[in-house]
Amino acid sequence: MDADLIIVGAGMVGSTLALALKDSGLNILVLDGGPLSVQPFDHDASFEPRVSALSAASQRVLERLDVWPGVVARRSSPYGEMQVWDGSGTGQIHFNAASVHADTLGHIIENRVVQDALLERLHDSDVGLMANARLEQLRRSGDDWLLTLNDGRQLRTRLLVAADGANSAVRRLAGCATREWDYLHHAIVTSVRCERPHKATAWQRFTDEGPLAFLPLVGAEGEHWCSIVWSTTPARAEHLMALDDDAFCAELGVDFEHRLGKVLHADRRLCIPLRQRHAKRYVEEGLALIGDAAHTIHPLAGQGVNLGFLDAAVLADVLLHAHERGENLAEERVLSRFERRRMPHNLAMMAAMEGFERLFQADPLPLRWLRNAGLNLVDDLPEAKALFVRQALGLTGDLPELARA
C-alpha cells in the first residue's frame, strides 16, 4: 500500500497532525499498535492516572480542529490559579489567570479523553487508519521509505512522520541520534480524593526529593479530587508503591503539608522512570520526528504534550504551504523549516525545566536562600509574574496558524 504521508503513532500528537492535514488532498495513512476504537465515555468512571495540563495554545489547536467540544463533553477541569512553594524554606509564588485578563491558566484533562475526542474526528474524516499495526522493519527503497509490519504487510511512502512516543520505533529503526540522560527520579501518578476543595488551583511543592504536584480535577458533587505527579528517588518510589492505600495517603498528605486537608483515597498508582531525551535532528530526507519521539522533558510543569501539539501544528503549517507551492514535501530543505521553528523553542523549554529541577534539588545553603528569595521577589513583581503566565499559556513567540486567535 502506498501513501503520500504515513504517520506512525495515533496518539494525541500524531492524531492532531493527521487532522490538521485532512483537507490537504494528500493521501494520509495513520498506523498504530492499538485498536483505535472510541469507547462510550462513562462520567462515573474513575479518573485515568495519566493527565495533561493543556495550555491555551493547545486548546486553540483543538478548537480549530473541532476536537475541543468532544473533550468538554467528556471531562475537563479548568484551573485559574497556581500555588508554588519551597518545602525546604519560605519561598512561595502565586500565579493567577486574571493577571493577563484570561479566564484560565489551562485545563487538566485525562489523556484518554483527549485521545478519544481526536479519534472521533479522525473516524469522521478521509484519513486512513490502520489499527493493531506494529512497525517491525524500516528501510530506504529509492526515494521512498519501505515499512514492514508485524503481520508481514508492507507500506511505502515518500514522507514518514514519527509520532510514536518516547521509545519511538521509527527513530530507532531510522538510526536517528539522540542526547539523553536519566534524571534518577521516578514519577508516581494517580488520582486522589482530598478533604478540602482544590479551588480550581494547581498546587506544586518542591520537596528535597523532587516536585510534588496536585492538579485539580472536577469530581462528583461534594468530592474533591486531584491528579498527583510525585517525583522522587527510585528507592522512595519503590517504598511508596509497596504501601497499602491508607499508608500511601498518609505519607502523601505529610509531603504535601496537608494543604488540602487529609488525603482520603488514592486510585490505582503508576510509577514512571523519568528520562530526558532530545533528538539531535528532527528531520532528514523524507522523515520528521514530532512530540515525544523528538523530545521528552521533566513533567515539572506539564509542558510535554503542549510542545507536541505545537510540533504538529507547525509541521502542518510547513507541509500545507509547501504543498500549495508544489514543492516536494519529503525534501530535507522543506522539512528543515519545521526544525528551525520548533527546535529552539523546545530546547529553551527543556533548559528551563532542567534549570528549575536542578535549582530545587540543590542542597547548599546559599542556593536554598537564593531560590527562596527569588520566589518571594518574583511574587512581588506583577509584571514578571504576568510574563510567566503568558509563557505558560503558550501564546507567545512563533505561533502556528492553528494556535493563533
**Angular region, 199: left φ>0, alpha ψ -120 to 50, beta rest:** left
Q: Do 264 and 198 fall into the same domain?
A: yes
User: 279 and 255, same structural domain?
Assistant: no
Instruction: Find residue 124's DSSP bridge partners.
Output: none
What is the pairing mode between strands 144-149 and 135-141?
Answer: antiparallel
Of all helices (H) and strands (E), which one includes residue 129?
A: strand 128-130
CATH of the domain at 10: 3.50.50.60
pLDDT above 50 for 193: yes
In 207-268 the beta strands, taken as DSSP E runs, fall at 211-217, 224-232, 263-266
For residues 111 and 233, membership in a common domain is answered with no
The CATH number given to whatever domain includes residue 270 is 3.30.9.10
What tens digit of pLDDT does each residue of 312-345 get? Answer: 999 999 999 999 999 999 999 999 999 999 999 8
Q: How confident is the model at residue 99 (pLDDT cuts 50, 70, 90)?
A: confident
Q: Is there a single domain that holds both residue 350 and residue 235?
A: no
**Does residue 233 share a domain with residue 170?**
no
- Let me know whether 346 and 383 are in one domain: yes
Task: Please state, for a pLDDT cut of 70, what percent of the chain lies above it.
Answer: 90
pLDDT of residue 382: 64
Helix axes 304-324, 56-64, angle to 10 degrees: 40
- pTM value? 0.93
Residue pair 71/113 in contact (Cβ under 8 Å)? The answer is yes
CA–CA gap between residue 7 and residue 161 (Å, rounded) = 5
Is pLDDT above 90 for 186?
yes
CB 196 within 8 A of CB 256: no
Mean pLDDT of the chain: 91
What is the rounded distance in angstroms from the CA atom of residue 53 to the CA atom of residue 305?
8
The whole domain housing 388 covers 2-36+45-181+275-403
- pLDDT grade, residue 362 (50/70/90)? very low
pLDDT above 90: percentage of residues in the chain: 75
Helix (H) or strand (E) holding 147: strand 144-149
Cα separation, 100 vs 382, in Å, equals 10
- pLDDT at residue number 370: 53
Of 6-15, 53-62, 293-302, 348-357, minimum mean pLDDT range = 348-357
Please report where in the chains the cell 504515513 appears, as a residue: 6
How far is Cα of residue 69 from the mean position of the Cα atoms in its chain? 20
Query: What confidence category does residue 261 fall into, taking pLDDT thresholds of 50, 70 and 90?
Result: very high
Distance CA(225)–CA(221), nearest Å, equals: 10
The residue type at 151:
D
Q: Tell whether 161 and 238 lie within a shared domain.
A: no
Asked whether 180 and 196 are in contact (CB, 8 A), the reply is no
Rounded to 5 degrees, what are φ and ψ at 209?
A: -100, -15
Q: How many domains does the chain have?
A: 2
Name the residue among 63, 163, 82, 72 with its Cα closest to residue 113: 72
Tell me the C-alpha distance between 355 and 401, whole Å.
30
Q: Is there a single domain that holds both residue 259 and residue 318?
A: no
The domain boundary residue, chosen from 240, 274, 308: 274
Mean pLDDT of 108-129: 97
With cut-offs at 50, 70 and 90, classify the pLDDT of residue 369. very low
> Is residue 377 very low, low, confident or very high in pLDDT (cuts 50, 70, 90)?
low
- 296 lies in the same domain as 327: yes
Same domain, 56 and 147: yes
Would you state the pLDDT for residue 365?
46
Give the end of a domain, one of 214, 248, 274: 274
Is a pLDDT exceeding 90 seen at residue 388? no
Number of continuous H segments (helices) and E segments (strands) in the chain: 11, 20
198 & 333 share domain: no
C-alpha distance across the termini of the chain, in Å: 39
CA distances to 93, 207, 299 from 82, rounded to whole Å, are 8, 17, 16
Residue 231 has pLDDT above 50, yes or no: yes
Given 259, 274, 289, the domain boundary residue is 274
Find, among 54, 23, 64, 1, the residue nearest to 319 by Cα: 23
Residue 207's pLDDT is 84
Instruction: Over range 374-394, report the average pLDDT.
Output: 67
163 in the same domain as 192: no
